[in-house]
């Protein structure tokens, strides 16, 4: 019981110290709104997504359609609202997958088996220069356009990247005296990794994950536009952005909103990592040392 | 010398791994490649002919072997649509993509390096915050949207300041160099601004990591101004890092400009690959994917080696 | 050169690192500034050279022979740095420019401040190398090809080559083994005295200070807690910090013979 209580208190301290920085305040607000809107969109959007209206296509923004309507007469604002949940799912899955893959690779790189350690370094060096888009296209060959393509391609690329960035810190931790003594006391390799190595690379992991999250939103918009991302008919910001391309000669100002939305969200995701890292650092945040 | 050999061995292994991945990506398709390639309404005879033509009835290892043998002779296969060799098709597309990314990279360097230096040199807290915001926002703009905004601003026909064409690559291609170049200006600007933001961030962090060793301080203690020390000593010392970044960025742009090529109707390598995928021309896709992946591996190799050549400290351990 | 700092305060990002420091160095005097790591002593040295990174707030005054350094333009500061004030850094292994040869390194302050002919430049550099105890054949080596002691000799040569009137040495021996420490301190003291310059010697190690300085200031958490003649202070420190640092120095000296001192901060 006390354990969960301390944990809750630590979380509250971290959040409140993030809130005191402008960057943290911005990212918490925006991400909070994002989650809220995603939840609301599950049960309510101003217009039904599939509601088409042949008489009101390519409408400019107005009181009834805040951001106008698209080529089928569907409400752009409703689609953006519904798109937020798709992007949220993509971001969460990508971060989870890349973090899992990255940590697995880090574990391999710091393992005591020379062949495994060397092999994983070689594999990362060899594969890391292949861009995410190319991986997505390779996956799209068998899988077609799907959320899974985005998640797997981004997760793969960012996982490799995470492993490479975290490696020096992880090696330092894995070769330290306290790991030596933990081993001498009979701690198993996975246990040593989870209790000694992971906490030491946490700051790097947090920042990399937040960058991955931001990049995943950008990748979603690009891949969906290219036709290998979110399948057509599924709402997503990339979908709205791609649709807005067709607006450009009809209602140019409507083009602004989906892109602006994506930009604001990616900024929030990128700032979130930095703010969280600083708030979690006991050196920078004295409150944490007391908790 | 030993490093060189090890790095080369790594390169060959990676190339083999990639060839396997690309090859298998097409074989694990749920369903039959020939059926997919032939399309939904194809007759069984057409599918059978395709199967035969592609050698799909032979064992996997044999198929892989003959594909690799072809690759070694520079044969990437032929496209289904036009019957041209894939290599020739890619070469034609490269004549659009490479000029585009070279222009884009020049714009990016012209924007990113001065801004990165300025961000390090800025004295006032407010100026530094401004550069910070600029870098964060610049890195968060979706390429597609950046392109749309520039179209809204500058494109003939729809722009506020209509000075540049956004109507695709001229049919006459590079036979009308003026027109062709003009068609690349707006896309190159889009690419340049977006890549420039990341060059700016890298320049700033490279300079900061140089500064953290005290070399810039030492140069200042000898009598340089901060500006001089950062620009003359810092930039030179950050060069190996920057060259790696620019090299990798350049490579990444080959596929990274896919969206921009698509938006501006430029038939480049990336947009061509997407087209082929759309046409289910899997032989072409397989060849192009391998070619691109090999290209990225070569760049990775070159960047690693250049990095070492530029930094005397790294070479010291090799002897 | 005479230096007077008065009510010197230094703040980084709103956090006050150095508070209300009054410090005097007379012409030709060797003065020590001692404090444990994090006490802000390097900050004071950097403030005197105008080397603090952008975003640092300096308040109070720093007077170098009548010139007010706080708030001076960087171009004017640069004219002083290397020519009127020389600085020796803690870790020459990483602060020396890895791309310059020893000769180019030592020639840099001369090039920046004086228009000398190639021959004259070469002569001065060679002479400085001899004075710093660097064999002439090292002139075309780069920093990574030198030993730690040699690197610091190059650092000292850079600081002194343009005959400045004040030398600021920021923990110049901390990165060295104890035998080399002694040689480097001896070299610095003899070169500074030879030139008739003054010196501010910053360290956390009293055993070095006793030899290098006549007067010293003890810094704790950004404030001067004690000052006086070095010998007297070593004999009977008045402040708690002073006492602790003297004790530490004595204990270290006991271990001296084993050569196990690598004291990296």
User: Is C97 in contact with B215 (CB distance < 8 Å)?
Assistant: yes
Helix (H, G, I), strand (E, B) or coil at C50: coil
- CB of C97 less than 8 A from some CB of B: yes
- CB of C49 less than 8 A from some CB of B: yes
Which chains, if any, share at least 3 CB pairs under 8 A with chain B?
A, C
Per-residue DSSP letter, C261: -
Nearest to C83 among B125, B223, B316 (CB): B223
User: Is C207 in contact with C252 (CB distance < 8 Å)?
Assistant: yes
Mean pLDDT over A185-204 rounds to 86
Query: Of A264-268, B31-35, B257-261, where does mean pLDDT reach its minimum?
Result: B31-35
Is residue A40 domain-resident? Answer: no
Q: Cα–Cα–Cα angle for A55, A56, A59, nearest 5°?
A: 155
| Per-residue confidence (pLDDT) for residue C12, from 0 to 100 | 85
Q: Which residue has the higher pLDDT, B311 or A87?
A: A87
Q: What is the ipTM of this complex?
A: 0.89
**C-alpha distance from B248 to closest chain A C-alpha (Å):** 7
For residue C261, pLDDT beyond 60: no
Task: Give C91's contacts in chain B (Cβ within 8 Å).
Answer: 214
Residue among B26, B295, B17, B97 at smallest CA distance from A137: B26
Put simply, the answer to whether C89 touches B236 (Cβ < 8 Å) is: no
Instruction: Give the chain A residue nearest B19 (alpha carbons).
Output: A138
Q: Distance between CA B75 and CA B11 in Å, rounded?
A: 21
- 3-class SS letters over chain B: CHHHHHHHHHHHHHHHHHHHHHHHHHHCCCCCHHHHHHCCCCCHHHHHHHHHHHCCCCCHHHHHHHHHHHHHCCCCCECCCCCCEHHHHHHHHHHHHHHHHHHHHHHHHHHHHHHHHHHHHCCCHHHHHHHHHHHHHHCCCCHHHHHHHHHHHHECCCCCCCCECCCCCCCCHHHCHHHHHHHHHHHHHHHHHHHHHHHHHHHHHHHHHHHHCCHHHHHHHCCCCHHHHHHHHHHHHHHHHHHHHHHHHHHHHHHHCHHHHHHCCCCCHHHHHHHHHHCCCHHHHHHHHHHHHHHHHHHHHHHHHHHHHHCHHHHCCCC
Is residue A224 domain-resident? Answer: yes
Is residue A151 domain-resident? Answer: yes
| Per-residue confidence (pLDDT) for residue C235, from 0 to 100 | 85
Supply the CATH number for residue B215's domain: 1.10.3720.10
Is residue A28 domain-resident? Answer: no
Burial of residue B60 (number of CB atoms within 10 Å: 0-12, 13-18, 19+): exposed
Residues of A with CB under 8 A from a CB of B: 122-123, 125-131, 133-134, 137-142, 214, 218, 221-222, 225-228, 238, 241-242, 244-245, 248-249, 252, 255-256, 258-260, 262-264, 266-267, 270-271
CA distances, B280 to each of A95, A213, B83, B100 (Å): 31, 31, 14, 26
Task: Give B319's contacts in chain C (Cβ within 8 Å).
Answer: none
- CB of C89 less than 8 A from some CB of B: yes
**C-alpha distance from B275 to closest chain A C-alpha (Å):** 9
Put simply, the answer to whether B297 touches A126 (Cβ < 8 Å) is: yes
Q: Distance between CA C1 and CA B267 in Å, rounded?
A: 71
| Per-residue confidence (pLDDT) for residue C262, from 0 to 100 | 42
- 3-class SS letters over B168-194: CCCCCHHHCHHHHHHHHHHHHHHHHHH
Put simply, the answer to whether B142 touches A140 (Cβ < 8 Å) is: no
What confidence tier does A65 reach under pLDDT thresholds 50, 70, 90? confident
**Rg of chain C in Å (alpha carbons):** 18
Nearest to A226 among B22, B262, B297 (CB): B262
What confidence tier does B312 reach under pLDDT thresholds 50, 70, 90? low
DSSP code string of C131-184: HTT--GGGGG--GGGS-HHHHHHHHHHHHHTT--SEEEEESTTTTS-HHHHHHH
Q: Distance between CA B287 and CA B291 in Å, rounded?
A: 6
Put simply, the answer to whether A270 touches B21 (Cβ < 8 Å) is: no
Mean pLDDT over B283-300 rounds to 87
Among residues of chain B, what percentage have pLDDT more than 90? Answer: 30
Mean pLDDT over A254-269 rounds to 91
Among residues of chain C, what percentage have pLDDT more than 90? Answer: 57
Query: Of A78-87, A257-266, B8-17, C127-136, where does mean pLDDT reach its minimum?
Result: B8-17
**C-alpha distance from C36 to closest chain B C-alpha (Å):** 21
CB pairs under 8 A between B and C: 87
Which chains, if any, share at least 3 CB pairs under 8 A with chain C?
B
What confidence tier does C253 reach under pLDDT thresholds 50, 70, 90? low
Is residue B60 domain-resident? Answer: no
Instruction: Give the chain B residue nearest C82 (alpha carbons).
Output: B222
What confidence tier does C123 reach under pLDDT thresholds 50, 70, 90? very high
Q: Which one of B24, B40, B145, B292 would you mutate to disrupt binding with A, by most A Cβ within 10 Å of its Cβ?
A: B145
Task: Give A220's contacts in chain B (Cβ within 8 Å).
Answer: none
Nearest to B122 among C54, C142, C162 (CB): C54
- Total Cβ atoms within 10 A of residue A210: 22
| Per-residue confidence (pLDDT) for residue C259, from 0 to 100 | 40
- A115-162 pLDDT, tens per residue? 788 778 777 876 777 888 888 988 887 788 899 999 999 999 999 999
Mean pLDDT over B278-291 rounds to 86
Put simply, the answer to whether C87 touches B221 (Cβ < 8 Å) is: yes
Query: Of A168-177, C29-38, C207-216, C249-258, where does mean pLDDT reach its minimum?
Result: C249-258
Is residue B252 domain-resident? Answer: yes
Task: Give C162's contacts in chain B (Cβ within 8 Å).
Answer: 223
Nearest to B144 among A129, A241, A266 (CB): A241
Nearest to B289 among A137, A218, A252 (CB): A137
For residue C258, pLDDT beyond 70: no
Mean pLDDT over A260-269 rounds to 94
Average pLDDT, chain A: 86
- CB of B307 less than 8 A from some CB of C: no
Is residue B255 domain-resident? Answer: yes
Among residues of chain C, what percentage have pLDDT more than 70? Answer: 95
Under 8 Å CB-to-CB from B24, ≥6 apart: which residues?
Answer: none
User: Is B153 in contact with B159 (CB distance < 8 Å)?
Assistant: yes
Put simply, the answer to whether A221 touches B282 (Cβ < 8 Å) is: no
| Per-residue confidence (pLDDT) for residue B3, from 0 to 100 | 67
Query: Of A54-63, A159-168, C94-103, C105-114, where does mean pLDDT reach its minimum?
Result: A54-63
Mean pLDDT over B45-62 rounds to 80
pTM: 0.84
For residue B31, pLDDT beyond 70: no
| Per-residue confidence (pLDDT) for residue B216, from 0 to 100 | 92
For residue C256, pLDDT beyond 50: no
| Helices A147-174, A198-226: crossing angle, 10 deg rounding | 160
Query: Of B8-17, B191-200, C106-115, where does mean pLDDT reach its minimum?
Result: B8-17
Which chains, if any, share at least 3 CB pairs under 8 A with chain A?
B
**C-alpha distance from C115 to closest chain B C-alpha (Å):** 14
Is residue B53 domain-resident? Answer: no
Mean pLDDT over B171-178 rounds to 83
Q: Distance between CA A262 and CA B145 in Å, rounded?
A: 9
| Per-residue confidence (pLDDT) for residue A291, from 0 to 100 | 57
Is residue A79 domain-resident? Answer: yes
Put simply, the answer to whether C97 touches B217 (Cβ < 8 Å) is: no
Q: Distance between CA C40 and CA C36 in Å, rounded?
A: 9
| Per-residue confidence (pLDDT) for residue B2, from 0 to 100 | 66
Put simply, the answer to whether B222 touches C74 (Cβ < 8 Å) is: no
For residue B203, pLDDT beyond 90: yes
For residue C265, pLDDT beyond 60: no
Number of domain units in chain B: 1
Supply the CATH number for residue A259's domain: 1.10.3720.10
The torsion angles phi and psi of C216, rounded to 5 degrees, stand at -150, 155
Nearest to B215 among C46, C97, C158 (CB): C97
| Per-residue confidence (pLDDT) for residue C255, from 0 to 100 | 46
Under 8 Å CB-to-CB from A281, ≥6 apart: which residues?
Answer: A203, A288
Q: Distance between CA C73 and CA C61 in Å, rounded?
A: 15
Number of domain units in chain A: 1
- CB of B121 less than 8 A from some CB of C: yes
Q: Determine the structural domain holding residue B212 and report its residue range.
A: 89-277
Q: Distance between CA C106 and CA A198 in Å, rounded?
A: 46
**C-alpha distance from A8 to closest chain B C-alpha (Å):** 31
| Per-residue confidence (pLDDT) for residue A23, from 0 to 100 | 87
For residue C260, pLDDT beyond 50: no
| Per-residue confidence (pLDDT) for residue A48, from 0 to 100 | 78
Average pLDDT, chain B: 85
Instruction: Give the chain B residue nearest C78 (alpha carbons).
Output: B223
- B246-262 pLDDT, tens per residue? 888 888 898 889 999 99
For residue A30, pLDDT beyond 90: yes
For residue B283, pLDDT beyond 90: no
- B96-143 pLDDT, tens per residue? 999 999 999 999 999 999 999 999 888 888 898 899 889 889 889 999
Average pLDDT, chain C: 88
- CB of B238 less than 8 A from some CB of C: no
Q: Which one of B122, B207, B220, B222 would you mutate to disrupt binding with C, by most C Cβ within 10 Å of its Cβ?
A: B222
- B70-107 pLDDT, tens per residue? 888 888 888 877 788 899 999 999 999 999 999 999 99
Q: Which one of B18, B148, B257, B304 would you mutate to disrupt binding with A, by most A Cβ within 10 Å of its Cβ?
A: B148
Q: Determine the structural domain holding residue A111 and report its residue range.
A: 75-275
């Amino acid at each position: 019981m006390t354990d969960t209580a301390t944990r809750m208190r630590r979380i509250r301290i971290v959040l409140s110290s993030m809130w005191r920085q402008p960057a943290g305040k911005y990212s918490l607000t925006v991400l909070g709104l994002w989650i809220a809107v995603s939840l609301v969109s599950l049960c309510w959007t101003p217009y039904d997504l599939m509601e088409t209206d042949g008489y009101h296509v390519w409408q400019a923004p107005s009181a009834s359609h805040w951001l106008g309507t698209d080529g089928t007469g569907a409400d752009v604002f409703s689609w953006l609202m519904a798109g937020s949940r798709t992007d949220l799912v993509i971001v969460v899955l990508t971060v989870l997958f890349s973090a899992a893959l990255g940590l697995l690779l880090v574990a391999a790189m710091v393992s005591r088996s020379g062949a495994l350690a060397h092999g994983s370094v070689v594999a990362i060096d060899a594969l890391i220069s292949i861009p995410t888009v190319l991986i997505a296209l390779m996956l799209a060959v068998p899988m077609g356009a799907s959320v899974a393509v985005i998640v797997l391609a981004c997760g793969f690329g960012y996982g490799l990247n995470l492993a490479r960035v975290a490696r020096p810190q992880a090696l330092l931790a894995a070769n330290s005296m306290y790991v030596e003594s933990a081993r001498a006391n009979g701690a198993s390799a996975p246990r040593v990794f989870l209790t000694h190595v992971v906490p030491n690379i946490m700051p790097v992991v947090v920042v990399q994950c937040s960058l991955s999250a931001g990049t995943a939103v950008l990748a979603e918009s690009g891949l969906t536009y290219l036709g290998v991302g979110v399948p057509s008919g599924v709402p997503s910001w990339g979908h709205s952005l791609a649709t807005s391309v067709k607006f450009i000669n009809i209602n140019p100002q409507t083009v602004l909103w989906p892109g602006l939305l994506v930009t604001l969200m990616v900024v929030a995701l990128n700032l979130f990592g930095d703010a969280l890292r600083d708030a979690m650092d006991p050196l920078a945040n004295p409150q944490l040392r007391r908790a | 010398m030993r490093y060189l050999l090890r790095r080369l061995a790594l390169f060959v292994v990676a190339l083999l791994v990639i060839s396997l991945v690309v090859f298998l990506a097409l074989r694990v398709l749920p369903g039959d490649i020939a059926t997919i390639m032939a399309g939904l309404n194809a007759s069984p005879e057409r599918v059978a002919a395709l199967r035969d033509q592609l050698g799909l009835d032979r064992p996997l290892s044999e198929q892989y072997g003959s594909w690799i043998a072809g690759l070694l002779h520079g044969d990437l296969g032929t496209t289904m649509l036009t019957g041209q060799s894939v290599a020739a098709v890619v070469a034609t597309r490269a004549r659009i993509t490479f000029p585009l990314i070279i222009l884009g990279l020049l714009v990016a360097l012209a924007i990113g390096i001065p801004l990165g230096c300025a961000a390090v040199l800025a004295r006032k807290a407010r100026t530094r915050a401004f550069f910070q915001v600029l870098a964060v926002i610049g890195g968060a703009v979706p390429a597609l949207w950046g392109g749309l905004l520039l179209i809204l601003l500058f494109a003939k026909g729809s722009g506020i300041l209509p000075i540049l064409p956004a109507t695709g690559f001229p049919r006459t291609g590079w036979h009308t160099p003026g027109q062709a170049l003009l068609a690349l200006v707006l896309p190159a600007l889009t690419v340049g601004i977006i890549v420039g933001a990341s060059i700016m961030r890298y320049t700033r962090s490279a300079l900061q990591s140089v500064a953290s060793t005290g070399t810039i301080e030492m140069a200042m203690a000898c009598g340089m101004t901060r500006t001089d020390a950062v620009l003359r000593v810092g930039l030179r010392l950050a060069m190996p890092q920057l060259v790696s970044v620019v090299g990798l960025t350049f490579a990444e742009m080959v596929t990274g400009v896919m969206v921009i090529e698509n938006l501006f109707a430029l038939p480049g390598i990336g947009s061509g690959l997407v087209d082929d995928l759309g046409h289910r021309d899997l032989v072409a896709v397989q060849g192009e994917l391998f070619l691109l992946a090999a290209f990225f591996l070569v760049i990775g190799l070159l960047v690693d080696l250049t990095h070492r050549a530029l930094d005397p400290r790294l070479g010291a351990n090799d002897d | 050169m005479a230096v007077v700092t008065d009510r010197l305060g230094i703040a980084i990002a709103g956090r006050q690192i150095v508070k209300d420091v009054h410090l005097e160095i007379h012409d030709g005097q060797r003065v020590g500034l001692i404090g444990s790591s994090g006490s802000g002593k390097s900050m004071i040295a950097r403030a005197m050279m105008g080397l603090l990174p952008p975003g640092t707030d300096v308040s109070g005054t720093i007077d170098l022979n009548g010139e007010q350094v706080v708030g001076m333009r960087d171009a004017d500061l640069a004219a002083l740095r290397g020519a009127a004030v020389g600085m020796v850094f803690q870790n020459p292994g990483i602060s020396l420019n890895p791309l310059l040869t020893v000769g180019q390194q030592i020639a840099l302050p001369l090039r920046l401040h004086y228009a000398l002919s190639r021959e004259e430049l070469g002569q001065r550099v060679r002479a400085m190398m001899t004075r710093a105890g660097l064999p002439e054949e090292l002139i075309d080596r780069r920093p990574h090809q030198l030993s730690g002691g040699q690197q610091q000799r190059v650092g000292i040569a850079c600081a002194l080559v343009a005959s400045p009137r004040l030398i600021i040495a920021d923990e110049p021996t901390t990165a060295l083994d104890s035998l080399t420490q002694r040689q480097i301190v001896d070299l610095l003291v003899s070169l500074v005295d030879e030139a008739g310059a003054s010196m501010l010697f910053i360290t956390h190690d009293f055993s070095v200070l006793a030899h290098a300085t006549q007067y010293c200031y003890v810094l704790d958490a950004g404030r001067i807690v004690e000052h006086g003649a070095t010998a007297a202070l070593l004999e009977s420190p008045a402040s708690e910090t002073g006492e602790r640092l003297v004790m530490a120095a004595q204990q270290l000296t006991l271990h001296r013979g084993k050569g196990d001192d690598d004291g990296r901060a």
